[in-house]
Chain A
Amino acid sequence: MAMHKITLTINGEHEVVDVPSQWTLLQMLREKLALTGTKNGCTTGECGACTVMLNGAPVNSCMVLAVECDGAEIVTVEGLAHDGQLDPVQDALIEAGGVQCGFCTPGVLISARALLDRNPDPSEKEIQDALVGNLCRCTGYVRIIEGVKQAAKL
């Protein structure tokens, strides 16, 4: 098991991590750094629960090798709030009631944040399209989409 030393920024913190070459970014976050907010729902890139931001773009972290992230900037759900203040997407999702079991929530929040970063005023269709890869079995998506709409106004 060849190990690699990689250097990257995670939620604004500089990190140096030794990872096996075959590990995914998801494994590294959860098992090496105990950043367990990012969830593992399928490990096949289909459910979106493991979505994180990689250099500003939302990715399924189960589909990215950790070693590919050398020099990268990663944001996970743990990095959304700043100075004790929730990100507007977090506040809005709470306000809209878009959280039930919470397992898809971290991925939803990252996809929503990434959307609003590149498109601060998305249409409903653009919100649906941006979140189509984030499966949720509890909410029926109604309040999730409402939350992202509200977040765009904050």
Chain B
Amino acid sequence: MAIVDKVKLPSPVGESKPRLDVQEKVTGAAIYTDDIQFGPGLLHARIKRSPHPHARIKSIDISKAQELPGVKVVVTGDDFPNRIGLYLVDRHIFARDRVRFVGEPVAGVAAATEEIAEKALDLIEVEYEMLDPVFDPEFGATPEAPLIHPDMAEYARPNFIFPQEGTNISNHFKVRRGDVEGAWEQCAAIVEEKFYIPHVQHVPIEPHVAVAKFDVDGRVTLWAASQSPFAQRNLIAKTLGISESDMRVIAPYVGGGFGCKAGVTMEALPVAIASKVPGRPVKLLLTREEEFYTNFVRQALVIKLKIGCDTNGKVLAMQNTMYWDGGASTEYGVNITRAGGYNSTGPYFIPNVHTDSMCIYTNHPVGGAYRGFGMSELHTGIEQTMDILAEKIGMDKVEFRLKNCVKGGDIILTGMTMHPTGLSECIEKAAKAINWGKKEESSSPTKARGKGIALMWKAPSMPPNAGSSAEVKFNEDGTVTLSVGGQEIGQGTFTVMAQMVAGTLGIPYESVRVRGPLDTQYSPYEWQTVASRLTWSMGNAVVEAAKDAREQLLENVADHWDEDPEDLDIIDGKVISYKSENEMSVKNIGIYGLPNENDEGWKGGPIVGRGNFMPTYVTNLDAETGQGDRAVVHYTTGAQAFDIEVDLETGKIDILKAVSAFDVGRAINPELVKAQIEGGLMQGLSSAIFEQIMLEKGVMQNPSFVDYRIATTTDMPFEHEEIIVEEPQDDGPWGARGIGEHPMVPTIAALANAIYDAVGVRLEGPPLSAEKVYLAMLDAGVVD
């Protein structure tokens, strides 16, 4: 740390520097995967998909498709026997024997044009025998439910995922803390609630696209819109029996991720097809309709909560039962279930906890990572129930939360000691900014005004040893080039990393280049761009790499000047000596070294600084109790509050003001932090008011932008305030921790609490559409 500590101002860390990638992005020069030109040799892939939610494949006849002129290859599950999966290895690239959701790939075609490939799909004949489907996760967890994965016990899995043999439960995470049964007796108020949070889709504006090409010697290159080039290399290579180093993943800018381009979603499909046509690049670009109904979804959740407190409003016990509708297979679902379990109290200290978080196989779309990784769904239940409990015990809802919220030093539900957190400060500031406690007049007699607040916490949900690495190289002109394996998906990570390099090295921010596209052949390893982990984890690796480069440079200059490196510093791109007041530009030194005196040779050489970071302290949790020393690396916490009006004639919600306060440890780039908060708030509101995948017997009814409405410009004009709280993270660069996902976590609950405050109704779950709010008001007799 000594070197970072010595860095003198001006440091770009903490300043809102302009984004590194923005010039390219406003001129149309930024390259995304679909922009790469592959020439006339390119083949176009289309996928034959299951029209049934659950069926046995009796036969597949591809002969007619193969004969269609222009078709180069047709593949089916018979060609690829191995399973693939990030945690529980439970699915095939193309279905074998049975299909488990509508949209599951059954066969793939590569042809000279998309039109020919599409035509070939119609010529593939698949005979199915229907199987009983499961659409309700609660039913799916019962012994009566038909088994969707009869072979589940055979699936490979890491040691922290607990499938229940002979059931549809692909993971069952438990917390058993204290004596819940005994605690109920001491409670002065107990509430029991059940909520349903439906499936939603990520909806990046860039659809999934991947291009794969095999060389004749068996090596493969994949170009993909990807948050996870290294994870994709690892998983796809393993499944196809290729060595990781013989697979190269090139990942240009990503046009929106939100979790849907993490892990392996559709990328294995073109790789598998391309393996049968060596030498030819094969592209699969999903249609918007496929984007909606075949991709990983934010899985639905049924959550049942029982929470009790004493007469002083002190929460004593919680029982939390979660049924996650994991869908047909569980790329991320099992780990979302785990995260839901170890975070199941929300950001509260509760001495007695009984949690069952279960991932259930259903014949619905596959549950994937979605900005927040289960936390929006979980908090939608917890934060409404806490509101109800506060009211029941007769306490102000902010006071109730301040009393019970988690504080530094608390032993949280898993047995881990909570680190210092600015949550209380977030609550106080959010409450103040929304004028909490002040009942305000509505703008019209036909509108009811209300305020609501909700808290959140979220830890990066990842394997205990998810690693980062970085490389810093000097250039002749005094700039440095940073290589990382974390992806720029819009959040601004390249900019933040460049600020960290500049701040560590002592060169101007403008002198840092970040190399793209990511390329597993050249880029340093990064686990995945997920979990809001880059600023912290990759940031630590970047700081190490910059320190290493700095030390090499200073040692060389010190030797040249015959001084002690400890007396030297780099300020604004110049090496200076505090002792001799010598001064020298960093230009050229990092490439050519420095000449010895009297022209007697040279010293130094091209400088490559390297750094890595991996948390080493995360422990596994006991399978029966969920207890362990340290479940996670850290928590980002925060609060969100709304001041709204509900139109009594239509049920429409007008937001008057939204306040968000989050503890980011340290804002490396405050404007980028605020941009994340604004974007997350709006995505949260869109999911709160508009969005739901309408499933009818496993078939998505609304797979288009017309029928699956997301927020537009006209939905978002209201006052908003973003508050940054900075309680430093002990092992974060300059104290920073992540903020990418968190801003949308409390949104649904905060809005639902505001609606209740305004009109006294609660819905079972989002979307809190005008129609549903109006009908609930009718039911409750609020309007007639």
Which residue of the partner chain B has the closest CB to A106?
A: B28
B782 within 8 A of A: no
Our pick among A41, A47, A77, A104 for the contact of B28 (Cβ within 8 Å) is A77
Residues of A with C-beta under 8 A to B159: none
Which residue of the partner chain A has the closest CB to B490?
A: A101
Cα A54 to Cα B99 in complex, Å, equals 46
B200-208, B403-411, B635-643: which lies at the A interface?
Answer: B200-208
Task: Establish whether residues B717 and A124, one from each chain, have CB atoms under 8 Å apart when the complex forms.
Answer: yes
Residues of B with C-beta under 8 A to A143: 675, 678
Instruction: With A97-B671, A102-B253, A103-B32 as known contacts, state yes or no: A140 contacts B37, CB within 8 Å.
Output: no
Our pick among B672, B705, B711 for the contact of A46 (Cβ within 8 Å) is B705
Q: How far is the CB of B116 from chain A (nearest CB, A)?
A: 11
Task: Establish whether residues A141 and B28, one from each chain, have CB atoms under 8 Å apart when the complex forms.
Answer: no
B18-26, B185-193, B270-278, B326-334: which lies at the A interface?
Answer: B18-26
B720 within 8 A of A: yes
Cα A129 to Cα B712 in complex, Å, equals 10
Which residue of the partner chain A has the closest CB to B291?
A: A42
Task: Establish whether residues B678 and A139, one from each chain, have CB atoms under 8 Å apart when the complex forms.
Answer: yes
Cα A145 to Cα B202 in complex, Å, equals 23
Task: Establish whether residues A137 and B26, one from each chain, have CB atoms under 8 Å apart when the complex forms.
Answer: no
Task: Establish whether residues A43 and B288, one from each chain, have CB atoms under 8 Å apart when the complex forms.
Answer: yes
Q: Mark B197-241, 1 if CB is under 8 A from A, else 0.
A: 000001111110000000000000000000000000000000000
Q: How far is the CB of A122 from chain B (nearest CB, A)?
A: 12
Cα A37 to Cα B35 in complex, Å, equals 8
B378-386, B394-402, B460-468, B679-687: which lies at the A interface?
Answer: B679-687
Task: Establish whether residues A103 and B256, one from each chain, have CB atoms under 8 Å apart when the complex forms.
Answer: yes
Task: Establish whether residues B714 and A132, one from each chain, have CB atoms under 8 Å apart when the complex forms.
Answer: yes
Task: Establish whether residues B205 and A41, one from each chain, have CB atoms under 8 Å apart when the complex forms.
Answer: yes
Residues of B with C-beta under 8 A to A37: 27-29
Which residue of the partner chain B has the closest CB to A86?
A: B26
Residues of A with C-beta under 8 A to B288: 41-44, 46-47
Residues of B with C-beta under 8 A to A138: 256, 490, 679
Q: How far is the CB of B420 from chain A (nearest CB, A)?
A: 30
B60 within 8 A of A: no
Cα A93 to Cα B671 in complex, Å, equals 14
A28 within 8 A of B: no
B710 within 8 A of A: yes
B521 within 8 A of A: no
Cα A142 to Cα B206 in complex, Å, equals 20
Q: How far is the CB of B191 from chain A (nearest CB, A)?
A: 33
Our pick among B27, B202, B714, B716 for the contact of A80 (Cβ within 8 Å) is B27
Cα A102 to Cα B720 in complex, Å, equals 23
B255 within 8 A of A: yes
Instruction: With A46-B288, A47-B205 as known contacts, state yes or no: A101 contacts B255, CB within 8 Å.
Output: yes
Q: Mark A35-62, 1 if CB is under 8 A from B, else 0.
A: 1111111111011010000000000000
Task: Establish whether residues B255 and A103, one from each chain, have CB atoms under 8 Å apart when the complex forms.
Answer: yes
Task: Establish whether residues B35 and A42, one from each chain, have CB atoms under 8 Å apart when the complex forms.
Answer: no
Instruction: With A41-B207, A44-B704, A141-B716 as known contacts, state yes or no: A90 contacts B26, CB within 8 Å.
Output: yes
Residues of B with C-beta under 8 A to A74: none
Cα A35 to Cα B29 in complex, Å, equals 9
Task: Establish whether residues B205 and A128, one from each chain, have CB atoms under 8 Å apart when the complex forms.
Answer: no
Q: How far is the CB of B599 from chain A (nearest CB, A)?
A: 44
Q: How far is the CB of A53 from chain B (nearest CB, A)?
A: 13
Our pick among B25, B35, B254, B258 for the contact of A99 (Cβ within 8 Å) is B25
B443 within 8 A of A: no
Instruction: With A42-B288, A47-B288, A140-B682 as known contacts, state yes or no: A145 contacts B27, CB within 8 Å.
Output: no
Q: How far is the CB of A148 from chain B (nearest CB, A)?
A: 10
Cα A79 to Cα B206 in complex, Å, equals 22
Task: Establish whether residues B258 and A109, one from each chain, have CB atoms under 8 Å apart when the complex forms.
Answer: no
Task: Establish whether residues A101 and B31, one from each chain, have CB atoms under 8 Å apart when the complex forms.
Answer: no
Residues of A with C-beta under 8 A to B27: 37, 77-78, 80-81, 86, 90
Which residue of the partner chain B has the closest CB to A36?
A: B35
Residues of B with C-beta under 8 A to A46: 288, 704-706
Which residue of the partner chain A has the closest CB to B255?
A: A103
B30 within 8 A of A: yes
A105 within 8 A of B: yes
Residues of A57-97 contacting chain B, CB below 8 A:
76-78, 80-81, 86, 90, 93-94, 97
Q: How far is the CB of A78 from chain B (nearest CB, A)?
A: 5
Which residue of the partner chain A has the closest CB to B32?
A: A103
Instruction: With A39-B206, A43-B288 as known contacts, state yes or no: A102 contacts B705, CB within 8 Å.
Output: no
B335 within 8 A of A: no
Q: How far is the CB of B494 from chain A (nearest CB, A)?
A: 12
Residue of B19, B671, B705, B713 contacting most chain A CB atoms (<10 Å): B713
Q: How far is the CB of A29 from chain B (nearest CB, A)?
A: 10
Cα A94 to Cα B27 in complex, Å, equals 11
Interface residues contributed by chain A, number (CB under 8 Å): 53
Task: Establish whether residues A94 and B26, one from each chain, have CB atoms under 8 Å apart when the complex forms.
Answer: yes
Residues of A with C-beta under 8 A to B203: 137
Task: Establish whether residues B22 and A94, one from each chain, have CB atoms under 8 Å apart when the complex forms.
Answer: yes
Task: Establish whether residues A101 and B26, one from each chain, have CB atoms under 8 Å apart when the complex forms.
Answer: no
Cα A37 to Cα B706 in complex, Å, equals 25
Our pick among A41, A99, A142 for the contact of B22 (Cβ within 8 Å) is A99
Which residue of the partner chain B has the closest CB to A101?
A: B490
Residues of A with C-beta under 8 A to B34: 36, 40
Which residue of the partner chain B has the closest CB to A89?
A: B26
Instruction: With A46-B288, A134-B713 as known contacts, state yes or no: A104 contacts B205, CB within 8 Å.
Output: yes
Residues of A108-124 contacting chain B, CB below 8 A:
109, 124
Cα A36 to Cα B38 in complex, Å, equals 13
Which residue of the partner chain B has the closest CB to A90?
A: B26
Cα A103 to Cα B18 in complex, Å, equals 18
Task: Establish whether residues A135 and B710, one from each chain, have CB atoms under 8 Å apart when the complex forms.
Answer: yes
Which residue of the partner chain A has the closest CB to B209?
A: A40
Task: Establish whether residues B713 and A103, one from each chain, have CB atoms under 8 Å apart when the complex forms.
Answer: no
Q: How far is the CB of B690 from chain A (nearest CB, A)?
A: 12
Our pick among A78, A105, A140 for the contact of B679 (Cβ within 8 Å) is A140
A34 within 8 A of B: yes
A136 within 8 A of B: yes
Cα A98 to Cα B38 in complex, Å, equals 31
Cα A128 to Cα B492 in complex, Å, equals 25
Our pick among A101, A109, A124, A131 for the contact of B256 (Cβ within 8 Å) is A101
B435 within 8 A of A: no
Name B's A-contacting residues (CB within 8 A).
Answer: 18-19, 21-32, 34-35, 37, 202-207, 253-258, 285, 287-288, 489-492, 671-672, 675, 678-683, 704-706, 710-714, 716-717, 720
Name A's B-contacting residues (CB within 8 A).
Answer: 30, 34-44, 46-47, 49, 76-78, 80-81, 86, 90, 93-94, 97, 99-106, 109, 124, 127-129, 131-145
Query: A47-B705, A81-B27, A102-B30 known; 17 other A-B pairs, CB under 8 Å?
Result: A36-B32, A41-B205, A42-B705, A44-B704, A44-B705, A77-B27, A94-B18, A99-B22, A100-B490, A101-B204, A101-B205, A135-B712, A136-B205, A137-B258, A138-B256, A140-B678, A141-B712
List 7 tightest A-B contacts by C-beta distance, closest first. Answer: A37-B28, A140-B682, A103-B255, A101-B490, A102-B25, A100-B490, A36-B35
Task: Report 22 cross-chain contacts, Cβ distance below 8 Å, ordered by A residue.
Answer: A34-B37, A36-B32, A42-B704, A77-B27, A78-B28, A80-B27, A86-B26, A94-B19, A97-B19, A101-B253, A101-B254, A101-B257, A101-B489, A103-B255, A105-B25, A106-B28, A109-B26, A133-B712, A137-B256, A137-B258, A139-B678, A145-B717
